[in-house]
Amino acid sequence: MNEKPIKLYGKTETRFLDKVKKLLPEEGNLDACLTCGACASGCPATGIDNLDPRKVLRMAVLGMDEELTTTPWAWACTMCTRCMYVCPMKINIPQLVFNMRASWPRDERPKGIRASCDKGNSVESRSAMGLTGEMFTETVEDLLEEVREDQEGFENLQAPMNKKGAYYFLNQNSREPQMEEDEMVPLWKILHTVGADWTYSDKGWAAENYCLFLADNEAWEENIRLKAKAVEDLGCKVWLNTE
């Protein structure tokens, strides 16, 4: 019986939950929980270190701010939003978790996520693996040539780069060109088969954005703004992000 006692606090305007509610449309419905358990049943992280989305929400409602803003549960969540999707009250638990993460000092947030965010924002490609636009272009061109030569029916397959005025701007997770380049080809074939007008860019081409998972709003915005500018510079109408 040496467990640390749980402290419950009365409702105050400084309560963490109140701060989050002010940031969300309709206050994220954070006071509407029916404790039905649908969120827990749909959550892929349920059970990790005894994580349960209902517990997270209940901690917030009970004013357990210290526990809520220091628990590693914030980093077990995948931010997939399944909990919100299955919730009959559409409670925005992912945004609650996002703000839990944001409450951590940046240098205490997970090193891997932090390093990937910073690496991505250090290059114009926005690749968390540090791949440059030149490296990506070379990989695409070499792979495209190989497919055209070896695969019947795809002799005219296209994977355009920096095509001005293309309708679709396609992002690519940089893991594929770095480690699993063949995984890019099926999507090229689909776009080819339907006659889509699309392009890659050598800038802002990486689909991932670890700054989102780090809950670093400024770095997240910096990442997205460069990608959006790449889309605008090519005059594309629709931005397709494979993430």
Global pTM value: 0.83
In eight-state DSSP terms, residue 145 is: H
Q: What share of the chain is helix, strand, coil (3-state, %, to 5)?
A: 50, 5, 45
What does the alpha-carbon distance between residue 45 and residue 95 come to, in Å, rounded to a whole number?
A: 16
Residue 21: other Cβ atoms inside 10 A: 19
Per-residue model confidence (pLDDT) at position 29? 86
Per-residue model confidence (pLDDT) at position 14? 55
Q: Give me the residue spans of the domains in the chain.
A: 16-104, 112-240
Q: Where are the alpha helices (DSSP H) in the chain?
A: 16-23, 38-42, 53-61, 65-68, 73-76, 82-86, 93-102, 111-120, 133-150, 175-179, 185-193, 210-214, 217-234
Residue type, 76: A
Which stretches of the chain score pLDDT less than 70? 1-14
Per-residue model confidence (pLDDT) at position 79? 87
